[in-house]
C-alpha cells in the first residue's frame, strides 16, 4: 500500500493501564493499512529528522474504521510529553503505512510472543480476525511485569469469549498473579511448545524490545519451525 501523509484530529484518549494510553484520530481521508503495520507520528513536520518528537507507532485498531488508533507507554520523553498535552480536536501529521510484519487471511494458525507495549500491532490483528470472524487458530503469549500493566486485558478477555479459536496466556515477571489468571515467569520454550499442537504449521510473530525479540527467536533454535515462519518487529526507542 502506498505511503502517504495525512492530517488528523484527536477524537478520543483511552487509558489502558496506569502508564499506557491509546489515542484515536480522525484522518482527513482514509488510511489504508494492513493489520500489523505502523505509522510515523510528526510533532515537528518542518524537520522530519527530529527523532525526539517524530516517532513510529503501531496501529492498535483494525483497518477500515473511521478512526485510527495508536497506543503508547507514556514516559518522561519529549515525545510522550507532547502526546500527554494533546486535547480533543488538536491536529497532528501522520505518515504511513509502514511495515511488512503483517497478518494475511491465508494464515490459518498463528502465535504471538509478546512483551509489554509490543501488544499494539497484535490488537490490530486480533480485532481484524474477530471482526471478520476468521477461523484462524490464535495463541497469544503476553508477558508483562505486573498484572496492572496488562494493556487491553478487557478486550482480550472479550475476544476469547467471542471466538474459541483465540487462546491467551499471560505471564508476569515481577510478581505472582493476584487473580490467579497469569503464570509467574517469562515466556519459555516449554510453555510455547506444550500449548501449540501444530508447531510446524504455525506462523509466529514476535513484537517487543530488541532484547526480548532476540530471546524469543532463540526459542526456535534446533526446532522444526522454519525461519520464514517467524516474523519479528523490534521496537527501538518506542
Mean pLDDT confidence for 49-59: 94
CA-only gyration radius of the chain, Å? 18
Residue range(s) occupied by CATH 2.40.30.10 in the chain: 4-97
What topology does CATH give the domain 4-97?
Elongation Factor Tu (Ef-tu); domain 3 (2.40.30)
The secondary structure of residue 133, as a DSSP letter, is T
- Quick one: how many helices (H) and strands (E) in the chain? 5, 12
Angle at 155 between CA 154 and CA 158, to 5 degrees: 85
| pTM for the full predicted model | 0.93
Residue 123 pLDDT level (bands cut at 50, 70, 90)? very high
CATH code 3.40.50.80 region(s) in the chain: 109-234
User: What CATH code would you report for 109-234?
Assistant: 3.40.50.80
Instruction: State the average pLDDT over residues 109-133.
Output: 96
Distance CA 120, CA 152 (A): 9
pLDDT of residue 236: 56
Q: How far is CA 8 from CA 48, 66, 88, 91, 92, in A?
A: 17, 11, 11, 6, 5
Name which of 157, 156, 211, 220 is nearest 188 in CA terms: 220
Buried b (16+ CB within 10 A) or exposed e, 56-91: bbbbbbbbeeebbbbbbbeeeeebbebbeebeeeee
What value does the mean pLDDT of the chain take? 92
Amino acid at each position: 500500500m502506498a505511503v502517504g501523509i495525512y492530517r488528523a484530529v484527536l477524537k478520543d484518549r483511552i487509558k489502558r493501564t496506569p502508564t499506557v494510553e491509546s489515542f484515536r484520530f480522525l484522518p482527513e481521508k482514509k488510511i489504508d493499512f494492513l493489520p500489523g503495520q505502523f505509522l510515523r507520528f510528526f510533532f515537528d513536520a518542518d524537520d522530519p529528522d527530529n527523532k525526539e518528537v517524530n516517532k513510529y507507532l503501531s496501529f492498535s485498531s483494525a483497518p477500515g474504521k473511521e478512526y485510527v488508533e495508536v497506543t503508547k507507554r507514556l514516559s518522561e520523553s519529549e515525545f510522550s510529553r507532547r502526546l500527554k498535552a494533546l486535547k480533543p480536536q488538536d491536529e497532528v501529521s501522520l505518515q504511513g503505512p509502514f511495515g511488512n510484519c503483517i497478518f494475511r487471511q491465508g494464515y490459518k494458525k498463528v502465535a504471538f510472543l509478546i512483551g509489554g507495549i509490543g501488544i499494539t500491532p497484535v490488537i490490530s490483528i486480533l480485532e481484524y480476525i474477530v471482526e471478520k470472524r476468521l477461523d484462524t487458530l490464535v495463541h497469544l503469549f503476553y508477558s508483562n511485569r505486573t498484572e496492572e500493566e496488562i494493556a487491553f486485558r478487557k478486550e482480550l478477555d472479550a475476544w476469547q469469549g467471542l471466538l474459541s479459536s483465540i487462546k491467551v496466556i499471560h505471564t508476569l515477571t515481577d510478581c505472582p498473579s493476584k487473580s490467579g489468571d497469569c503464570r509467574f515467569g517469562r515466556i519459555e520454550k516449554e510453555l510455547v511448545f506444550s500449548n501449540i499442537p501444530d508447531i510446524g504449521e504455525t506462523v509466529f510473530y514476535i513484537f517487543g524490545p530488541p532484547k526480548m525479540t532476540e530471546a524469543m527467536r532463540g526459542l526456535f533454535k534446533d526446532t522444526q519451525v522454519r525461519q520464514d515462519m517467524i516474523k519479528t518487529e523490534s521496537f527501538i526507542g518506542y
